[in-house]
A and B are shown apart, each in its own frame.
Chain A
Amino acid sequence: MEFYNKFMEYLEAEDKEKAVFYALNLLEENKVDILTLYTKILAPSLNNMFCKSTEKGVCIWKEHVRSSIIRTIIECAYPHVIKQRDKNGVERRNESVVVVCPQDEYHEIGARMVADFYTLHGFDTVFVGANTPKEDFVSAINIIKPKYVVISVTNYYNIVNAERAIKRIREIANYDLKIIVGGYAFRANKEIYKNIGADYLMDSFEEIEAFIKEGQK
């Protein structure tokens, strides 16, 4: 909580330099691990953002600035992800995971964090990111042959696009590929993943971790 509060001070001031160095120092000094940084500091800092009535006209601006700071931290944390994986003695699994957001979905930070979780658990992770046209990523499926495709959806309208992408993946994939969906859009639509053809809904980082561990048994 102490780390979160301090980080929020810098973030609310939109002080990128201090926010980035503070978060990276927490990793350097082993005060937090990646999971804690992502789930207890970075994700809440985005999810708990609210717009003051005096700032209504600049809400999206502020959200984007905040997202940009957090994206910098996540990208800079990548060497720590690898270090932590190796320090934990996690062996490379020779299995890959593709993490994408469907067409028109521009919120990708949650998906980016999820990609690192799979890396931490030994997967070769391919983060494709925001607004991926379905034809583009289905073309790669039979080449990369991922064990899982993870589709992250934030804007609930994009569940429709996720369904189209899943349908196309199912048509193209010539092996038993598992599709996982997650993201804010499913919070109020927990059962819809079955209707859109996904195999699993993962609603939190803890669930993802439990799922990966279960698969390792």
Chain B
Amino acid sequence: MGNVIELKNINKIYGTIIKNQVLYDVNLSFKEGTFNSIIGASGSGKSTILNIMGTLDKPTSGEVYIDGKRTDLMTKNELAEVRNKKIGFIFQFHYLLPEFTALENVLIPYLIKDGKAPKEVVKRAEELLDLVGLSKVKNNRANNMSGGQQQRTAIARALINNPKIILADEPTGNLDSESTDAIYDIMRDINEKLGTTFIVITHDRRIAERADRIVEINDGKVHMDIVR
């Protein structure tokens, strides 16, 4: 399997007058179909790395390759296309629309774009909700679901465009240990069934120790890179 993400000599400096360098010559790559975790103290730079990988942020210098294509030189529109086609995001806070049902939330990208989702997309959304164990509550409004169910909906939403990569920033940070285990099982199941590459920032040992690889970021550098 080839690398689905590659970072080469990434530096990130915030500010122009008072400069704050948060990443120093980061070189990292992730193989397609793997399940990876990124750990590190708060402020170590791990979320900045994830944002750069997700094309939500640009490096000050260095090269970013997503699925073989260099993205750090792309225009905003080109980046948006890469994001839509290749990458799904899961955050600590699910950002679901509370007045919409689970199914509608999963279909949001289509509802915004065309006002209506094609039948085959609705079918896919239902399958994804089934995959994350939410078939029975698919028509429940987001604000009537538990935290674990909301996060599972967010995972299904991240998968709706069939992305090659899922970037997750503290996906279980807001959940109890039982829901954490359930979310891990779902992510691993998706990784195995669909071959989706997972890169998960986590403070949660239960997630990190079950990943194929742990990357520890310390003071803006890759401090440790260990594999199972």
Contacts and interface: CB of A to CB of B under 8 A. Distances in A.
B209 interface: yes
Contacts of B208: 157
Given A160-B39, A160-B216, A155 B227 contact: no
A31 to B, nearest CB: 37
Contacts of A192: 224, 226
B209 A157 contact: yes
B224 A196 contact: yes
B224 A104 contact: no
A163 B226 CA distance: 12
A189 interface: yes
B209 A155 contact: yes
A216 interface: no
Nearest to A160: B216
A94 to B, nearest CB: 37
B205 A104 contact: yes
B113 interface: no
Nearest to B205: A157
Interface string B185-228: 00000000000000000000100110000101000000110111
A200 interface: no
Contacts of A157: 205, 208-209, 214
Interface string A144-171: 0000000000011101100100000000
* Interface residue tally on B, bucketed by range: 10 to 19
A188 B209 contact: no
A155 B223 CA distance: 19
A53 interface: no
A163 B224 contact: yes
Nearest to B208: A157
Contacts of A156: 209, 214, 226-228
Contact of B214 (A104, A160, A195, A196): A160
A195 B226 CA distance: 11
B79 to A, nearest CB: 34
Contacts of B205: 104, 157
A189 B223 CA distance: 14
Contacts of A163: 224
B200 to A, nearest CB: 13
A196 B228 CA distance: 17
B158 to A, nearest CB: 25
A159 B209 contact: no
A104 B224 CA distance: 19
Interface of B: 39, 205, 208-209, 214, 216, 223-224, 226-228
25 contacts: A104-B205, A155-B209, A156-B214, A156-B226, A156-B227, A156-B228, A157-B205, A157-B208, A157-B209, A159-B224, A159-B226, A160-B39, A160-B214, A160-B216, A160-B224, A163-B224, A185-B226, A188-B226, A188-B227, A188-B228, A189-B226, A192-B226, A195-B223, A195-B224, A196-B224
Closest 9 CB pairs of A and B: A157-B209, A189-B226, A188-B227, A159-B226, A156-B228, A156-B226, A157-B208, A155-B209, A192-B226
Given A104-B205, A157-B205, A188-B228, 12 more contacts: A156-B214, A156-B228, A157-B214, A159-B224, A160-B39, A160-B216, A163-B224, A185-B226, A188-B226, A189-B227, A192-B224, A192-B226
